[in-house]
Amino acid sequence: MDETAERIAAATFELHASIGPSNTTISAIAEHAGVQRLTVYRHYPDELSLFRACVHHGLQKHPMPDVAEWSGIKDPAERLRTGLLAMYRYYSGTAEVWSNILPDIGRIPALHEANADTFKRFGAIFQSLASGWGLRGARKRKLEAAIWLAIQFPTWQTIVGQRELSNEEAVEVMAGSAENSRSGR
């Protein structure tokens, strides 16, 4: 990516992270990047290409946790706690970004499509944390639901941001909830 295209992608990400995609205009992106509107269109002829560059920039600036950090942990409860702590630390550093972008993902089709790799990463995180528990049927479904809930930004935002728990306390709450969901009751 050339320098101008990178500046435009960075400006788009910064605006999306601070005011949200639905409030970001091409004029604002151009001004923030120090270019003309036509330059934005020359590098990114459509919304999807601009959003893909924005997401790429965002993931370079704020990489999601790497499943390899905890995938080798055999004990699923320990792996869950390790993975959740990595996710919650990630959210701590990206809370403003997620707060401003997440509401628009479902409303802007190109933004949703541009985040396909992000969704795949969440899927890989979920799979790594949900594997190895040795459950079937309803108990497996309940555990998986609890883990899926635990890795979501709005869950972290509620228990850390609103209820003012530390990341470590939030991990204990959500991991405990997931582990309790395994019971047959």
pLDDT number for residue 134:
92
pTM for this predicted structure: 0.91
Residue pair 114/51 in contact (Cβ under 8 Å)? The answer is yes
pLDDT number for residue 181:
81
Report the C-alpha gap between 134 and 140 in whole angstroms. Answer: 8
pLDDT number for residue 1:
61
Report the C-alpha gap between 160 and 123 in whole angstroms. Answer: 23
Q: Which of residues 172 and 183 earns the better pLDDT score?
A: 172
Q: Give tens-digit pLDDT for 129-175.
A: 999 999 999 999 999 999 999 999 999 999 998 889 999 999 999 99
Report the C-alpha gap between 131 and 111 in whole angstroms. Answer: 30
pLDDT number for residue 30:
98
Using the predicted structure, report yes or no on whether residue 185 has a pLDDT greater than 80: no
Which residue's structure tokens are 């995180």?
125
Q: Give tens-digit pLDDT for 26-80.
A: 999 999 999 999 999 999 999 999 999 999 999 999 999 999 999 999 999 999 9
Of 111, 93, 90, nearest in space to 23 by CA: 111
* 106 token code pair: 């479902």
